[in-house]
């Protein structure tokens, strides 16, 4: 199904077949390798300096990285992780100790870093891949467990890992062992968790036409498969909320918002045995609807398209939908960023949109006046000095939700960055 949809979607866009290799369907380890050797002019080359010193952002630079209003606190190179590329990133805070930990996807596993002293990040170790190496590894957290999937990784399934082990690591880095390995599906492109009720939703598998799986993880080491939703086709990414937004008719419902290649979809998944499609919406010049995230009021959804910069020449384009009525999403505005870089993952925390912008680094955009269709960039940290081109290098993702204000960033080519607002 997903491939049929691709063909329909891309029939007039032959070049996109190549571009997709950077997006999701083909292993791109080779391109990463060549890219890394191509960028020898990068003064921030990793060799020999696994951990950079703290560097304030002054006169637009921090340790050689272009920046605005965000200081570099520390970084760990891929060498430290003994990895060739990085992918997703998430965070976990131990509520008993208030220690903050970073979970970072690597081509050969998942790395865990203690950043409770953010200027001295401590690499604790790696949970290795259970199948092959892959450029795609996504991780989310429920309770004190990490849930990990990988794409283009054969019969990977989902790893479940007890994060409390991170509190007692002796002689790091170590090789961790998985606590539970679910094998009811193979590769998944991503996973979504509703932390409010304890469900995980792998998306982009070869089941349910690529739509979300419903897996009860209220007892995290004994997950229960409760089906899935295939009617809307392949979901590349998504978000699930227990809805408390402006559309009162859906209050208290569990709502899945999927980014489904050519549109966003809104699905009521409260009843796992009878999920109901509510609505869908698209926009002009779509190329690959990639990811979206609600604002704090669950009214506006910030959506990224992963191929529109390449196919249509946009400056980084963010599509903001108004979901005042969940049954009728409306395109509220299009925001164009400062560079030609592609947008990848974006998250809202408070009134800031944190955008993982590939070669443009991570960009922070004020959305406090979105009602008036006003968005403006307040800062950035560009981990990819070589250029701001519409390519698949640089920042994969950002996790902006730590209470401390530490913002952690994964760069495909150079590893982990910890930054803070000035």
Contacts with Ca ion by CB under 5 A lie at 247, 249, 305, 308-309, 317, 325, 327, 343, 359, 382, 384, 388
Q: What are phi and psi of 372, to 5 degrees?
A: -90, 15
User: Closest distance between Ca ion and the C-beta of residue 146, in Å?
Assistant: 29
User: Closest distance between Ca ion and the C-beta of residue 123, in Å?
Assistant: 25
User: Closest distance between Ca ion and the C-beta of residue 147, in Å?
Assistant: 27
Kindly state the helix (H) or strand (E) to which residue 30 belongs, with its residue range.
helix 29-38
Question: Rg (Cα) of the chain, in Å, rounded?
Answer: 20
Q: How far apart are CA 302 and CA 259, in angstroms?
A: 11
Q: Judged by CB, which is closer to Ca ion: 325, or 377?
A: 325
DSSP state at residue 55 = B
Q: Judged by CB, which is closer to Ca ion: 31, or 150?
A: 31
Q: Let me know the angle formed at the C-alpha of 29 by 24 and 32, rounded to the nearest 5 degrees.
A: 100
Cβ atoms of 147 and 158 closer than 8 Å: yes
Q: Which of 404, 392, 370, 277 is nearest to 24 (CA)?
A: 392
Q: Judged by CB, which is closer to Ca ion: 105, or 245?
A: 245
Please count the other Cβ atoms lying within 10 Å of the Cβ belonging to residue 177. 10
Q: Let me know the angle formed at the C-alpha of 121 by 129 and 417, rounded to the nearest 5 degrees.
A: 75
Cβ atoms of 50 and 399 closer than 8 Å: no
Q: Judged by CB, which is closer to Ca ion: 23, or 83?
A: 23
User: Closest distance between Ca ion and the C-beta of residue 340, in Å?
Assistant: 10
User: Closest distance between Ca ion and the C-beta of residue 187, in Å?
Assistant: 24
Q: Judged by CB, which is closer to Ca ion: 235, or 359?
A: 359
CB-based contacts of 122: which residues, under 8 Å, 6+ apart? Answer: 113, 114, 115, 172
Please count the other Cβ atoms lying within 10 Å of the Cβ belonging to residue 3. 10
Q: Judged by CB, which is closer to Ca ion: 128, or 246?
A: 246
User: Closest distance between Ca ion and the C-beta of residue 384, in Å?
Assistant: 4
Buried b (16+ CB within 10 A) or exposed e, 256-265: bbbbbbbbbb
User: Closest distance between Ca ion and the C-beta of residue 376, in Å?
Assistant: 18
Q: Judged by CB, which is closer to Ca ion: 42, or 366?
A: 42
Q: How far apart are CA 409 and CA 406, in angstroms?
A: 10
Q: Judged by CB, which is closer to Ca ion: 45, or 120?
A: 45
State the distance between the two ends of the chain, measured CA to CA, in whole angstroms. Answer: 47
User: Closest distance between Ca ion and the C-beta of residue 140, in Å?
Assistant: 23
Please count the other Cβ atoms lying within 10 Å of the Cβ belonging to residue 141. 18
């Amino acid at each position: 199904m997903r491939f049929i949809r691709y063909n329909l979607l891309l029939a007039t866009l032959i070049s996109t077949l190549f571009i997709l290799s950077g997006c999701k369907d083909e292993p791109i380890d080779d391109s990463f390798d060549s890219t890394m050797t191509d960028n020898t002019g990068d003064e921030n080359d990793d060799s020999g300096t696994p951990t950079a010193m703290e560097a304030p952002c002054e006169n637009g630079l921090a340790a050689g990285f272009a920046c605005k209003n965000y200081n570099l606190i520390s970084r760990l190179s891929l060498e430290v992780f003994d990895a060739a590329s990085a992918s997703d990133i998430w965070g976990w805070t131990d509520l008993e100790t208030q220690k903050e930990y970073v979970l970072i996807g690597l081509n050969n596993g998942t790395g865990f870093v203690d950043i409770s002293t953010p200027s001295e990040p401590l690499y604790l170790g790696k949970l290795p891949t259970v199948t092959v190496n892959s450029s795609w590894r996504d991780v989310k957290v429920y309770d004190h467990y990490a849930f990990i999937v990988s794409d283009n990784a054969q019969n990977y399934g989902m790893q479940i890992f007890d994060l409390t082990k991170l509190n007692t690591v002796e002689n790091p880095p170590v090789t961790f062992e998985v606590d539970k390995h679910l094998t009811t599906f193979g590769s998944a492109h991503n996973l979504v968790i509703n932390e409010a009720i304890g469900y995980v939703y792998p998306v982009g598998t070869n089941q349910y036409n690529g739509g979300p799986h419903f897996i009860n993880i209220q007892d995290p080491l004994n997950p229960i498969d409760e089906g899935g939703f295939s009617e809307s086709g392949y979901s590349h990414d998504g978000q699930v909320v227990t809805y408390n937004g402006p559309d009162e008719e859906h209050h208290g419902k569990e709502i899945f918002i999927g980014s489904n290649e050519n549109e966003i979809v809104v699905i009521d998944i409260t009843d796992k045995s009878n999920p109901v499609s509510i609505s869908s919406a698209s926009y002009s010049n779509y190329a690959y609807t990639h990811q979206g995230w609600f604002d704090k009021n669950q009214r506006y959804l910030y959506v990224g398209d992963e191929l529109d910069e390449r196919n249509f020449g946009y400056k980084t384009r963010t599509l903001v939908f108004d979901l005042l009525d969940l049954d009728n999403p409306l395109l509220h505005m299009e925001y164009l960023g400062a560079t030609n870089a592609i947008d990848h993952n974006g998250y809202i925390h408070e009134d800031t949109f944190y955008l993982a912008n590939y070669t443009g680094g991570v960009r922070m955009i004020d959305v406090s006046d979105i009602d008036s269709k006003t968005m403006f960039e307040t800062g950035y940290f560009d981990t990819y000095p070589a250029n701001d081109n519409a390519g698949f290098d640089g920042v994969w993702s950002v996790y902006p939700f730590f209470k401390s204000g530490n913002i952690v960033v994964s760069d495909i080519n150079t590893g982990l960055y910890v930054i803070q607002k000035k």
